[in-house]
A and B are shown apart, each in its own frame.
Chain A
Amino acid sequence: MKSVVEILKEIRPEFDFAPVDDFIAQGMLDSFDMVTLVSALDKNYGISILGTDIVPENFQNLQTIEALVNKQKAKV
């Protein structure tokens, strides 16, 4: 199973995500990337992230994305 940072790196290989606190403010993820990322996370972790959770706050940095994944994993 890939880690969140590995999935991000596949989607946007030009960025180094690990040290960044706010992917949105840095222009590293836009609303369309979030949709692509959600699809990759769903497939990788066997979860189903709801459309209502696709909001910038959940995609701000590695910690918030991992928290979103863990929340969905707990529901499975």
Chain B
Amino acid sequence: MNAVHTAGEALAALRDAKAGATDFRTNFFPSEAKLQGWIDHSELFSDVHEGATFFLRKDRDFWHLYFCAASPDALQSQAAKLSILMAEPVVTDVVGNQPALEELLARLESVGLRRYARLQRMARAQLREPSPSPATGDSPVVCADKADCSAILALIESAFDRCAEQLPQLYEIESAVDHRQVLVAKRDQAVAGLLFFETQGLASSIRFWAVARQFHSLGIGSLLMRHYFGTQSAVRRFTLWVNTVNENAITKYGHYGYAPDGLVDHVLANHIIPT
């Protein structure tokens, strides 16, 4: 396993895996910025095999496994040779429509990974210009600032599953705050709730929406969501991923017009990660 030092190295490894591929399979779709962030923070490693390249990303106390394989056979045979799967906590995930994923899931299960969690994508289309956003001058919802970053991270880590839901590192939160993509609601100077989103052009995705337990049932989540929609007037497509066990959140997202769009994300974990 070798540290990846440049984005070019990672992309070259990806190209090599694609060359001559008969039925190329991958779960490695990082944006350029995300890839650079992982490299800058020495989180990304590669393991090149015949017919398959694996990337491993260190996250807290476990590894994310990404694969780029010439075929499902190559994925299965080369993943079986990964010693890290026997020695350290590892998760991986595959995204697609459920029927199309079954074959890949079976291949990954055959090398000792087991189904750990399932996320579903929900989408909300905005076909027309939204009505003008309400005045926000005296709203308790504001864009987070640098001083909030540690509290934001603590709230996210307390509310979501670190192995299943791709929690951000502190540096990612700081970058999102710089780009005004984290909204917070405060009570007595404390971060009571947050909405962390990514907007690119005409599309916006909610990454995390959470209210601290002691502030539940005060309408804070609703304030955050309405403020978010009010500030995204150019956006035509809203998406998010939600853990399918989080029925409460799914119901709430449905209330705001989100509906499952058929994409699912299966997270698999090895035997070292407890269920």
Contact = CB atoms under 8 A, between A and B. Distances in A.
A51 B21 CA distance: 8
A30 B126 CA distance: 17
Contacts of A13: 125, 127
Contacts of A31: 29
A28 B199 CA distance: 11
Given A14-B237, A51-B23, A32 B201 contact: no
A14 B121 CA distance: 17
A26 B237 CA distance: 11
A15 B237 contact: yes
B203 interface: yes
Contact of A52 (B21, B96, B125, B236): B21
A25 interface: yes
Given A12-B237, A14-B237, A51-B18, A28 B127 contact: no
B253 interface: no
B104 interface: no
Interface string B240-256: 00000000000000000
B202 A15 contact: yes
Nearest to B126: A14
Given A12-B237, A14-B236, A15-B236, A28 B21 contact: no
Contacts of B126: 14
A64 to B, nearest CB: 17
Interface in A37-59: 50-52
B202 A27 contact: yes
Contacts of B29: 31
Given A14-B125, A14-B237, A35 B96 contact: yes
Given A26-B200, A26-B202, A27-B202, A32 B237 contact: no
B13 to A, nearest CB: 15
Contacts of A12: 237
Nearest to B100: A35
Contacts of A14: 125-127, 236-237
Contacts of B96: 32, 35
Nearest to B265: A32
Interface in B195-237: 199-204, 236-237
Nearest to A26: B201
B116 interface: no
Contacts of A52: 18-19, 21, 24
Contacts of B273: none
A44 B202 CA distance: 27
Interface of A: 12-15, 25-28, 30-32, 35, 50-52
Given A25-B200, A26-B201, A32-B95, 15 more contacts: A13-B125, A13-B127, A14-B126, A15-B202, A15-B237, A26-B202, A27-B200, A27-B202, A27-B203, A27-B204, A28-B201, A28-B203, A30-B203, A32-B96, A51-B18
9 contacts: A14-B237, A25-B201, A27-B237, A28-B201, A32-B95, A32-B96, A32-B121, A51-B21, A52-B19
